Amino acid sequence: MVKLLDRLRKGYGRKLVMLHAWNGWIVVALAVTGLILLGGFWREILGEGRVWIKEIHIVVGIGSLVPVLYYLLLAGKHWKQLRDKPWQRFNVLFVLALLVGWLASGVLLWQFRAVGPRWSNPALTVHDLLTWIGLPYIIYHSITRTQWLKEPNRRTVSSGRRPAQEELHPASMPQPFYTRRSFIRGSIAAGLAVLIGPSFLKWIGKSLGGSIGGNSMEQLLESDSNDLVPAPLPLAASSPPIGGGSSGHFRVYTVTPIPSFDNNNWSFTVDGLVEKKLQFTWEQFVKLKRKVQVSDFHCVTGWSVYHNTWEGIPLRTLLAEAGVKSEAQYIKFYSGDGVYTDALSLEQVKVQMSDVMVAVMHDGKPIPSDLGGPVRLIVPQMYAYKSVKWLVRIELIADSHVGYWEQRGYSNDAWV
Ligand SMILES: Nc1nc2c(c(=O)[nH]1)N[C@H]1C(S)=C(S)[C@@H](COP(=O)(O)O)O[C@H]1N2
Ligand SMILES: [Mo]
């Protein structure tokens, strides 16, 4: 064992350089895949590829443990070497802390099913926060460490001989306060701040509950592209909401452009293996008797919105109204986006879940188009990919149906 450690420590300088390079590439791979996973934008384009990218991100993320552990073997020597370089020592500690933080929160997110939302929610916040801090830092670090910026004087030395340290920074000669190098570094830092700053502030604002950058639910309601009249009037239990108002923020997820509906292009259907097919116009649909319930909303990627007050029609009521035929085993849900579908078994709805709801209002307000309005499904006891947005059709079927994300690798078992 001791021999092995010795051998690993040999060729130390070369190994540090190699480690640094490996670590760099790992960070690049994680940054690219991570940013794709973060951006709602890519959901629309990637589909199944997104699940692959998630797998790659997880595997590479776990793999990042290897250079970290390897470095720790060499760390003692390296640390002594950096005795007079406090800035480089800080850099080492900072990058190590980043990697370990990313790794720990990443493992919790990966194992969201085992740990539940109580752990995966804070893990996502930490993972995002480290990204906002760490990525600009690492980009800055890698740009300013390129040879050209690191040793600008070197290019002015005409001979091929590598100049001695004293020649580069003669102690006797006072360095001008604004060197070209510090100017370029400053510009890069400023550029990064301008590029990343606004999104960072927006994220902070959201994480702290909308105190900075406006309340996003209000913005979503304001930018509602649906135009359905009359607007639904909230029941007393919705206004003010008995849940006391939701806490947390919905991330707007969609695999298509956000569809818009009005009285002419919206209708709601319950069909398939039913005694009586139901079809509603909006005017008819808003007259249906609604109920109010409070529930939490959990996405598999780690975020949740707590105690939402939903107002709508219990799925069981609609099924009873249509009369389910005995051959029916499953319920298939269609989104008005024309692409997204999901399914529940009839058994799950009839026996296990009385709270599956065809929701029309959230916290006493119409559901904005970004969040699946005018009507979306809510399945509180399952992960939110079951909660089909822009719900327009419910079909009773005999054979199982594999939903949009389940076809692309999500678990068919979505119980929270
Ligand atoms: N039509 C449709 N419904 C959908 C989705 C979607 O992309 N399209 N995404 C699902 C997923 S994965 C989640 S987490 C929730 C997100 O709901 P929100 O966009 O209102 O936050 O909607 C679910 N329903
Ligand atoms: Mo989700």
Instruction: Report the nearest-CA residue for atom 8 of ligand 1.
Output: 254
CB of 67 within 8 A of CB of 26?
Answer: yes
Instruction: Report the nearest-CA residue for atom 2 of ligand 1.
Output: 389
Nearest ligand 1 atom to the CA of 250 is: 21
Distance 365 CA to ligand 1 centre (A): 19
Distance CA 20, CA 12 (A): 12
Instruction: Report the nearest-CA residue for atom 20 of ligand 1.
Output: 371
Distance CA 237, CA 314 (A): 15
**Given this model, what pLDDT does residue 200 score?**
72
The distance of Cα 75 from the centroid of its chain, to the nearest Å, equals 34
Distance CA 70, CA 8 (A): 9
Name the residue of 256, 356, 387, 392 whose CB sits within 8 Å of the most ligand 1 atoms, as the mutation to test its pocket: 387
Instruction: Report the nearest-CA residue for atom 10 of ligand 1.
Output: 385
| 109-154 confidence digits (pLDDT tens) | 999 888 988 898 999 999 999 998 998 898 888 877 765 555 445 4
Nearest ligand 1 atom to the CA of 255 is: 7
343 pLDDT more than 70? yes
Can you give the C-alpha Rg of the chain in angstroms? 28
Distance 359 CA to ligand 1 centre (A): 14
Sign (positive or negative) of CA dihedral 47, 335, 317, 248: positive
380 pLDDT more than 70? yes
Kindly state the tokens that stand for 76. 């003692």
CB of 369 within 8 A of CB of 226?
Answer: yes
Name the residue of 38, 43, 254, 301 whose CB sits within 8 Å of the most ligand 1 atoms, as the mutation to test its pocket: 254
Residue 304 CB partners (closer than 8 Å, separation 6+) = 117, 121, 248, 296, 297, 298
Distance 34 CA to ligand 2 centre (A): 16
Instruction: Report the nearest-CA residue for atom 11 of ligand 1.
Output: 385
Ligand 1: residues within 6 Å at CB? 250-255, 299, 335, 337, 340, 371-372, 384-385, 387-390
- Residue 210: pLDDT band (50, 70, 90) is very low
**Given this model, what pLDDT does residue 365 score?**
97
For the chain, the three-class secondary structure string (H helix, E strand, C coil) is CHHHHHHHHCCHHHHHHHHHHHHHHHHHHHHHHHHHHHCCHHHHHHCHHHHHHHHHHHHHHHHCHHHHHHHHHHHHHHHHHCCCCHHHHHHHHHHHHHHHHHHHHHHHHHCHHHHCHHHHHHHHHHHHHHHHHHHHHHHHHHHHCCHHHHCHHHHHCCCCCCCCHHHHCCCCCCCCCCCHHHHHHHHHHHHHHHHHHHHHHHHHHHHCCCCCCCCHHHHHHHCCCCECCCCCCCCCCECCECCCCCECCCCCCCCCCCCCCECCCCCEEEEECECCCEEECHHHHCCCCCEEEEEEEECCCCCEEEEEEEEEEEHHHHHHHHCECCCCCEEEEEECCCCCEEEEEHHHHHHHCCCCEEEEEECCEECCHHHCCCCEEECCCECHHHCCCCEEEEEEECCCCCCHHHHCCCCCCCEC
Distance 241 CA to ligand 1 centre (A): 23
pLDDT averaged over the chain?
86
* 226-408 classified as CATH 3.20.20.70: no
| pLDDT mean over 266-276 | 98
Report the range of poorest mean pLDDT among 15-29, 173-187, 191-205, 339-353.
173-187
The one-letter code for the residue type at 12 is Y
Nearest ligand 1 atom to the CA of 252 is: 19
Instruction: Report the nearest-CA residue for atom 1 of ligand 1.
Output: 389
CB of 341 within 8 A of CB of 289?
Answer: no
Distance 30 CA to ligand 2 centre (A): 21
Strand partners, 308: 295
Report the range of poorest mean pLDDT among 88-102, 145-159, 236-250, 260-274.
145-159
Model pTM? Answer: 0.80
Name the residue of 50, 356, 385 whose CB sits within 8 Å of the most ligand 1 atoms, as the mutation to test its pocket: 385
Nearest ligand 1 atom to the CA of 251 is: 21
Where are the CATH 3.90.420.10 domain residues in the chain?
A: 226-408
Ligand nearest to the CA of 405: 1
Distance 162 CA to ligand 2 centre (A): 56
Instruction: Report the nearest-CA residue for atom 6 of ligand 1.
Output: 254
- The percentage of residues in the chain with a pLDDT greater than 90, rounded to a whole number, is 60
| 280-293 confidence digits (pLDDT tens) | 999 999 999 999 99
Contacts 24+ apart (CB under 8 A), 13-17: 15/70, 15/74, 16/74, 16/78
175 pLDDT more than 70? no
Instruction: Report the nearest-CA residue for atom 12 of ligand 1.
Output: 385
- Residue 161: pLDDT band (50, 70, 90) is very low
- The percentage of residues in the chain with a pLDDT greater than 70, rounded to a whole number, is 84
